[in-house]
Chain A
Amino acid sequence: MDSLLQQLERFSEVLAVSRTTHVSTWDAATVRRALQWARYLRHVHRRFGRHARIRKALERRLQNQWKQEGGSGPAPALGLTNFQALGHCDLLLSLRLLANRALGDAAFHYLLQELFPGPGVPGAEEGTLQGSLALLARRRAAVHMLRSSAYRENPVLQEDSLMKTQAELLLERLQEVGEAHAEGPGRFLSRLWEHLPHNNFLKVTAAALLLPPSSPRHQEEESELGNPRRAGERGRELLHWLLGKSEVIVAFCRNLPAGLLTSVAGRHPEVSRVYLGLLTDWGRHLHYDLQKGIWIGTESQDVPWEELYGRFQSLCQAPPPLKDEVLTTLKSCKAQDGDFEVPGLSIWTDLLLALESGA
């Protein structure tokens, strides 16, 4: 067992190095050894896939990297992060070496000979590296063709393929990080927030919160181990982090489109509470301009009337529990302000009037 773990560590190092310029010192023999190692680990994956104890031990070792505090830079220099990855570690290694310009010509030549022996390899082509690499190239072409000819970005953001894929990846990663360390997900997400473009990140978060309860991809892989990973659980960590960070939740509610937020709020009551709280807060910042006859803000970051109205309108189109909650909130705010029926005195009155006439 120990030797197995050692092999794993050493291969992880090799995998990490394969992306760096250090490979310029590699010759054909080194490449051969690296590939052999990968093949061995792949064999381990096949052999011990159903062996829960060994699998767990290997996974724990792989997840160690998550425990390291304060990783440098935005992207962790990841190699193998879970047991599944062992199943195609040779592919990972090969792709890194193929893309690495620092690899010498002789070593590269050897690599190509190993990876692409040519025709006459009978039987399970898909099982071989050659087959997998060709399949990857084919799939890439397929994605490209679909995107340029027939694919349209889905207006319903959470159903857009790119969004969904990113969301699935995020949840998957959170799952692994969470298993390694209880505090893991929160720290990981904070680090992502620091380094990634906010807009996309927020959209992916929303999409992740709207993913259906069971991800079929994981069901088939994990059900054998008797450890079904439900997207619900993974989403909870994300939600927890989101609600805990005021800067993030404010940006979330402010920048995402109304329809998307309505969906998220409908699904997660905790979000709807915070969202409504923020909306009422923003509403209070507006005052009525008698001359122009409209509600305006004083500062540039104030949410304008149109946007506020748009968001409330979207919320009122949601199904019952949420819709009722929104109306109740609006009515109670209106009551607090004095329960006026005349426009121009309380923003809540005006909003309710506009919603009724617009509906």
Chain B
Amino acid sequence: MAQDSVGLSSDYQFWIQKLSVWKQASTLETQQDTCLYLPQFQEFLRQMYEALKEMDSNTVIERFPTIGQLLAKTCRNPFILAYDESQKILIWCLCCLINKDPQNSGESQLNSWTRGLLSRILAAFRSDIKEVDLFTQGLGYAPADYYPGLLKNMVLSLVSELRENHLNGFNTQSRMAPERVRSLSRVCVPLVTLPDFEPLVEALLTYHGQEPQEVLWPEFFGAVNEAFLLKKICLPVSAVLCLWLRHLPSLEKAVLHLFEKLVSSERNCLRRIECFMKDSLLPEAACHPAIFRVVDEMFRYALLETEGAPEVLAAMQVFTRCFVEALEKENQQPKFALKTYFPYASPSLVMVLLQRPKDIPQGLWHRPLKRISEMLKEIVEDETQGSSGGPFENWFLLAHFGGWADIAAEQLLTSVGDAEPPEALLWLLAFSSSPGDGPQQRAQTMVEVKAVLSHLGRLLRSPTLSAGNLLAAAEESREGDPRPPACQQLTRRLLLNFLLWAPGGRAMARDVITLVSLPFPASCLSLTAQVEDGAD
């Protein structure tokens, strides 16, 4: 407690000084400075209130003799009053100063002074123009009646001035001067969360002046982005798109915010991830290649940093799926060539990957799978082809469209025990689980997988099929040695797929899952969901 009050005292000094410099925030510098400190000052006000509410008004004066100055200066700064909840907290602080039963003239005076200040914030507004006041009074209206309407009209007027600039390209008279637009964006910083201001914020975001450099104030973008991420403002996609295109840090923050949300929630089923993803508006915005590239880069870094963490991989796959959906919804004819989205990949490969499996009859899935496998094999194993990127790039591309690897696994398992598993599918699976392998290692993996498949096939036909047997088949290698970890992941994945697709597999799903306690690879997230859904 004592420590808190010491901290509060030094903060107090800091803020009183700041407020003295800011005064009424009428100059450019004071406005800029005020806007930078708005959240911190609000926090300070909150702490002050927590301290003040425990005291009676005499103690308050003892403890903070200059409290009157602090509160009065705050009242005079419209930027602070306009921000978020600051005006409310300020009123709470003032309420703490009111003495229920003043005993002497000093206390009465304090009461009177405080009441005056409260009145000023709340009740005694004047529109600065005497005639307007007289008129509205004459009609019998109080300011509280007409202020909302006045604000609406002012906002509409400004919005139409901003929009006019588009139409009156050559009419220099009606064009809003860049300095005014800038000043308007500054004024909006504390007010982005006020619903009346939404049209103005939107108009500013979509405003394109004649000047080559950005005319809006950078903190404006930051404030809008914050409000948007915290869902304190409702903006159409077109406005958010403008925001992100004009201010890169906002886009990056939005992606990071999404990552945080995905990582922090405990169990994320696919549907929830998809919900968060669509909510963030990132897939829709990514239809613009510049945005797609930035988001893609961030996914790439995230994967590299976390060494292929399953959560990141799953998020990226959901993102890609939502992105493709948005692209298709937007227009039949894509506005931008595929190469602008995936500049390092072979266009024909991208075309095949973009196909949606559910658009293709299941019986024909092997065709695109074979093509994908062959194309990738050619690119990856041909070392002279430098232009299409190394194995990581291609793996990264494939990882976007994780569904294909899943389908490959599915195909292998539905036909387990029948014919020889096709080499193309084996190669694809092996590549997707460890892209860095050399040709020999990969060949070995493929052999291992073939063995597991045949083992599973045998089990299927045997009468002693049980959860335990299945696990054993998955864990043991052909020679009884423990498999390399990448291989282990792959076999576990195959096991899950087996549970899903092989006849009789689902019956044992629950048992197997309870027995298994080790983490599953990323694409299995979706499979786990399906198994749980299906098993019910």
Contacts and interface: CB of A to CB of B under 8 A. Distances in A.
Interface of A: 74-76, 78, 81, 88, 91-92, 95-96, 98-99, 101, 105-106, 108-109, 112-113, 116, 118-119, 130, 133-134, 136-152, 154, 159-162, 164-166, 168-170, 173, 192, 195-197, 199-201, 204, 217
A170 B132 CA distance: 12
A133 B122 contact: yes
A141 B79 CA distance: 7
B283 to A, nearest CB: 32
Interface of B: 26, 49, 53, 78-79, 81-82, 85, 87-88, 91-92, 95, 98-102, 108, 111-112, 115, 118-119, 121-125, 127-129, 131-132, 134-151, 153-158, 180, 183-184, 186-187, 191, 194, 196-197
A144 to B, nearest CB: 5
B98 A105 contact: yes
A200 B132 contact: yes
Shortest Cβ-Cβ A-B pairs, 3 listed: A78-B140, A99-B123, A141-B81
A248 to B, nearest CB: 15
Contacts of B196: 139, 142
A139 B95 CA distance: 21
Contacts of B100: 105-106, 109
5 contacts: A88-B144, A92-B144, A118-B49, A133-B91, A196-B138
Contact of A195 (B115, B138, B144, B186): B138
A173 B85 CA distance: 34
B149 A142 contact: no
Contacts of B154: 143, 146-147, 151, 161
Contacts of B150: 143, 161-162, 165
Contacts of B144: 88, 91-92, 95, 136
B147 A138 contact: no
A147 B187 CA distance: 10
B151 A136 contact: no
Nearest to B89: A119
A143 B115 CA distance: 23
A137 B184 contact: no
A257 B313 CA distance: 68
Nearest to A131: B88
B78 A145 contact: yes
B26 to A, nearest CB: 7
Prevailing SS type, chain B contact patch: helix
Given A105-B111, A145-B82, A146-B154, A139 B148 contact: yes
A133 B26 CA distance: 25
Given A151-B158, A161-B153, A170-B139, A139 B194 contact: yes
A154 B153 CA distance: 12
A189 to B, nearest CB: 11
A109 B107 CA distance: 14
A118 B184 CA distance: 32
Prevailing SS type, chain A contact patch: helix
Contacts of A200: 131-132, 134-135
Contacts of A148: 26, 78
A166 B98 contact: no
Contacts of B136: 166, 169
B128 A147 contact: yes
B191 A199 contact: no
B92 A118 contact: yes
Contacts of A108: 98, 111, 115
A142 B87 contact: no
Contacts of A170: 139
Contact of A169 (B98, B124, B146, B191): B146
Contacts of B79: 141, 145
A140 B92 CA distance: 18
A81 B147 contact: no
Contact of A196 (B134, B141, B147, B153): B134
A260 to B, nearest CB: 16
A120 B138 CA distance: 40
A98 B122 contact: yes
B318 to A, nearest CB: 33
B142 A142 contact: no
A150 B183 CA distance: 6
A269 to B, nearest CB: 28
Contacts of A74: 134, 137-138
Given A81-B140, A105-B111, A142-B197, 8 more contacts: A76-B140, A92-B144, A116-B92, A142-B196, A144-B78, A146-B158, A166-B132, A173-B141
A136 B122 contact: yes
Contact of A137 (B87, B134, B187): B87
Contacts of B119: 98-99
A37 B138 CA distance: 27
Contact of A168 (B121, B149, B191): B149
A154 B121 CA distance: 28
Given A75-B140, A161-B157, A137 B147 contact: no
Nearest to A99: B123
A149 B99 contact: no
Contacts of A166: 132, 135-136
Contacts of A109: 98-100
A146 to B, nearest CB: 5
Nearest to B185: A150
B441 to A, nearest CB: 59
A92 B166 CA distance: 42
Contacts of A130: 88
Given A148-B26, A159-B157, A140 B125 contact: yes
Given A150-B184, A166-B136, A138 B81 contact: yes
A68 to B, nearest CB: 13
A40 to B, nearest CB: 20
A196 B137 CA distance: 10
Contacts of B118: 98, 112
A154 B148 CA distance: 19
A216 to B, nearest CB: 9
Contacts of A217: 149
A95 B122 contact: yes
B98 A154 contact: no
Contact of A162 (B124, B129, B158, B191): B129
Given A149-B186, A165-B149, A142 B88 contact: no
Nearest to A134: B88
Nearest to B141: A169
A146 B191 CA distance: 11
A81 B138 CA distance: 14
B98 A140 contact: no
Residue from B137, B139, B142, B151 with most neighbouring chain A CB atoms (10 Å): B139
A263 to B, nearest CB: 17
